[in-house]
Structure 1
Amino acid sequence: MVEAVEAVRAVSDWQRMRHWALAHMVDDFYQGLVPASIPFFVLERDYSYVAASGLALAATLGSALPQPILGVIADRWRLLWLAPAGLALAGVGAGLAGLAPTYPLVWALLLLSGLGVAAFHPAAGRDARAAADDSAKAMSLFAAGGSVGFFLAPALATPALVSFGVGATALFIPPAVLMGFVLWRHQQRHIRNAVASRRLDGPDRWIPFFLLTAVEVVRSAMYSGINTFIALYWINQLGSARALGGVALAAFLVGGVAGTVVGGRVADRVGMLRTIQIGSAAAIPALVLLRVCPYPELGLAAAVLVGVAVNMPFAVFVKLGQDYLPSRPGTAAGVTLGLAVSAGGLFVPVLGAIADRHGPQAVLTTLCFIPVIAIALAALLPEPAV
């Protein structure tokens, strides 16, 4: 009987969140499309590594920095078109970049794509929370959608780019336009939910929110570091083939999707703060196991476990941030889904310097200690107001 009830609730969660989860998947696909396409710009157009880094910077600047501002705008005005329009712009900008003939135009289009991503997250986070009501499990479906999109980008884009060249990015414009239209129609049919009719009570608590943001930056630094160096570790340290290094990265990303969903379920049972603490603590043995495992095939299981542990708090960050800022759900979503996630990537150059001196194995050794910072910061977080 209990299992039947749980099954009904799971279906109900998906029915409520499917448009938001799918839209988040499509939107974040274009965040993954940029790094997947950059090597082809280098190979086909002889861009330098510095120029290639500039393209990644354009997308990051566009997607990260404006999100808090757009969050404030989303909290002040309804702007039901903001999330669908941002989704469409993300796809059109990234898709046209491969057709652009000059570097400045490519850079500008990727910046516009990033701005589209930035426009989507605050408004979508606000309205998805209204649809999820008070369920962390439902909100985890929305968060997991983004992780799936980022994972699918290289898997779907790389074969197209290999076959047709960098101009094949244009093939991925239609999904953004179509999903933007579908989301807009969904907004019109469910306008009361879309404008976040359920307003949380209580004052905004900025100090806990800033502490939560710091915890997420630490988590994001771990995620970005593993995402960047795990394949290199497999190839250079464990001596595996390049293909197996790619499988290790895929295993970590799949674990991340699973961890996001599991984190929502755990939070509904034991609470959001405890879920953050469990995920942060579990990351330590998982990372140690990944670092000491001498066999690349067996290490794939450790890569999955690391992905689960590191991503377990992800959906909780979004929901808890909105609980700390009950009158500013768009601002909270903009920071937790955008700025804090991107800020973690700023620490990758530091890890890169460690890798240059001591190899990628030193990066993984360093990352084994990073969760301690997250645990210490999480211990300072207060319970959200009921």
Structure 2
Amino acid sequence: MTTNAASLDGKQARAASPKAKPTFAILGAISSAHMINDMMQSLILAMYPILKGEFSLSFSQVGLITLTYQLTASLLQPLVGVFTDRHPQRYSLPFGMTSTLIGLMLLAFAPSFSFVLLAAAFVGVGSSVFHPESSRIARLASGGQHGLAQSVFQVGGNTGTAIGPLLAALVIAPYGQHSVAWFGLVALLGIILLVGVSNWYATHHMAASGRKKAAVVSPYPRNVVIGAIAVLLILIFSKYFYLAGISSFYTFYLIEHFGLTVQDAQLHLFLFLLASAIGTVMGGPIGDRIGRKPVIWVSILGVAPFALLLPHASLFWTTALTVGIGLILSSAFSAILVYAQELVPGKVGMISGMFFGFAFGMGGLGAAVLGVLADHTSIDFVYQCIAYLPLLGLVAAFLPKSPRKV
């Protein structure tokens, strides 16, 4: 019965739009905006060594910065997703980018640690609006190739995250905190881009609302859906708690463990994040072809050998291992998100907001907890502890077979 329901769902979708193709212009625009949005967030991460020296911060305070913007986004994203599922807002995306712009300006001229936290909160608010809404638009523009669309969308964000440390090394490190203000011009470009996307979304939504919609029902019983969602959230915890140790403290690890300069450490962080951007492209399309579950299995559990070796590696192998971790681990999120959207059809905003929000929350909580742990022990000890987190990928065995294959 489950297989028949899933098959019927796929046939109905193809019958409704037999010649549907991805709208690559919109996917490209939303991916570019994602790149800008996440580049702004990444600038905060890349500035940690600078902010630590400027305001004499402890590792706990560094973790608190991450917790502030991640927790702000975490708490608001599900609420934004639920609200916009019921009441779509035409210009919510430019509004979100405007909040990010305000946070960026506050960061550039923050006179104290309190203002740095306020800046991080504004960036978090921007992300809380941007991610669930832009994920919805990516799905609308997918032409039925949902994994591909989410990967195109996600690769923009991961590319922006990768660019942040590179820009910090080239611009912010030599010219100081105030130079962050120049990136406000990029945020303005993002606002203009998102106004165009919002106009397309309004037209598309009105056309869709004029058509009679068939009822959408999950191909699984409620208890199976709840269990699967719980497993997916455990996998998100594993992925983003581990990533918090890399993104927030990798530069400090390289500086303390290998004696690198701030700029050299930021370049190594760039390599890791660039590998993550490349890996993102693979997860969605492969999931479209072979199913989401195999991709989820490999992307989380497959990182474990690399993570366990990392604390004992030389500089060369540390770089090689982190590149491998970035390539493999980053393929998970697109597959997890689309899998969850197929488990609960018709609730794209709610599911996107919940999963983006939980991911942000776990990243922020991870940074805060690991910062306290680093203050009481060492960065080396932190990396030894988090090496075991990818082993939680074993819980993917409890996921049911993908609800439908595209």
**TM-score under structure 1 normalisation?**
0.84
Residue identity matched to 1:381: L
Paired with 1:366 and 1:47, the residues of 2 have a C-alpha distance of 26
Contact 1:63–1:115 (CA under 8 A) maintained in structure 2: yes
Identity %: 26
Whole-angstrom CA distance in 2 between matches of 1:245 and 1:366: 21
1:58-97 paired onto structure 2 within 5 Å = 58-97=68-107
Q: Which residue number in structure 2 is paired with residue 213 of structure 1? A: 233
**CA distance 1:363–1:257, change in 2 (3 Å):** same
Deviates more, 1:96-105 or 1:16-25: 96-105
CA contact (8 A) 1:130 1:196 kept: no
Is residue 330 of structure 2 the alignment partner of residue 311 of structure 1? yes
1:189 alignment counterpart? 200
Unaligned runs of 5+ in 1: 1-10
2:400 — aligned with what? 382
Code of the residue aligned with 2:295 in structure 1: it is: T
- SS of the equivalent of 2:160 reads helix
CA distance in 2, matches of 1:180, 1:99: 22
Q: 1:260 aligns with which of 280, 284, 295?
A: 280
Query: What does the per-residue CA deviation read over 1:356-377, in whole Å, with 9 as the maximum and x for residues that have no partner?
Result: 666444433333322221222x
Q: 1:236 and 1:194, CA in 2 relative to 1: closer, same or farther beyond 3 A?
A: farther
1:178 aligned counterpart, secondary structure: helix
Q: Which residue does 1:31 correspond to in 2? A: 41
Match of 2:300 among 280, 287, 291: 280
Deviates more, 1:156-165 or 1:274-283: 156-165
Match of 2:359 among 337, 340, 355: 340
Equivalences for 1:114-263 in 2 at 5 Å?
114-132=124-142, 133-193=144-204, 197=208, 201-203=216-218, 205-237=225-257, 239=258, 241-242=260-261, 244-263=264-283
> How well do the aligned residues superpose, as a CA RMSD in angstroms?
3.0
Instruction: Trace 1:366-381 onto structure 2 (pairs within 5 A).
Output: 366-376=385-395, 378-381=396-399
Structure 1 residue 278 displacement after superposition? 1.2
CA separation in 2, counterparts of 1:325 and 1:196?
23
Does structure 2 retain, via aligned residues, the 8 Å contact 1:220–1:344?
A: yes
- Report if aligned partners of 2:85, 2:349 keep a CA contact under 8 Å in 1: yes
Are the counterparts in 2 of residues 136 and 265 from structure 1 also a CA contact under 8 Å?
yes
Residues 250-308 of structure 1 show CA distances to partners (whole Å, capped at 9, x for unaligned) of 22212211211111232122210110001122112222343443x32243222211111
TM-aligned CA deviation for residue 233 of structure 1? 4.1
State how far apart, in whole Å, the 2-side matches of 1:333 and 1:233 are.
33
Offset at residue 213 of structure 1 (A): 1.8
Question: Alpha carbons of 1:105 and 1:147: their partners in 2 closer, same or farther (altered >3 Å)?
Answer: same
How far the C-alpha of 1:127 sits from its partner, in A, is 1.2
Which position in structure 1 is the counterpart of 2:12? Answer: none
Tell me the alpha carbon deviations over residues 92-142 of structure 1, each in whole angstroms, 9 at most, x when there is no partner.
Answer: 222233235566555434322321111111111111111123331221111
371 and 162 in structure 1: CA distance in 2 versus 1, 3 angstrom threshold:
closer
| Inter-partner Cα distance in structure 2 for 1:192 and 1:114 | 28
> Per the alignment, do residues 253 and 272 of structure 1 end up closer, same or farther by CA in structure 2, a change over 3 Å counting?
same
Tell which has more relative contact order, 1 or 2 (C-alpha 8 A, sep 6+).
Answer: 2
* Contact in 2 for aligned 1:220/1:340 (Cα 8 Å): yes
In structure 2, runs of 5+ residues without a counterpart are: 1-20
CA contact (8 A) 1:68 1:335 kept: yes
User: Amino acid of the residue matched to residue 96 of structure 1?
Assistant: L
Instruction: Report Cα offsets for 1:199-255 as digits up to 9, x if no partner.
Output: 883247444223312211111111112333444444444x35335544432222122
CA 1:240–1:277 in structure 2 vs 1: closer, same or farther (change >3 Å)? same
3-state SS of 2:141 partner:
helix
Relative to structure 1, the CA distance from residue 283 to residue 43 in structure 2 (aligned partners, 3 Å threshold; closer, same or farther) is closer
- CA separation of 1:357 and 1:216: change in aligned 2, threshold 3 A: same
**Alpha carbons of structure 1 residues 199 and 341: separation in structure 2 relative to 1, 3 Å:** farther
| Corresponding residue number in structure 2 for 1:3 | none
For this pair of structures, how many residues does the alignment match?
372
Partner of 1:301: 320
How far off is 1:83 after superposition?
1.6
**1:27 Cα deviation after fit:** 1.0
The code of the aligned residue for 1:276 comes to I
Letter in 2 for 1:255: A
Partners of 1:95 and 1:171 within 8 A in 2: no
CA distance in structure 2 between the partners assigned to 1:105 and 1:274 by the alignment: 44
Indicate if the aligned counterparts of 1:137 and 1:268 stay in contact, CA closer than 8 A.
yes
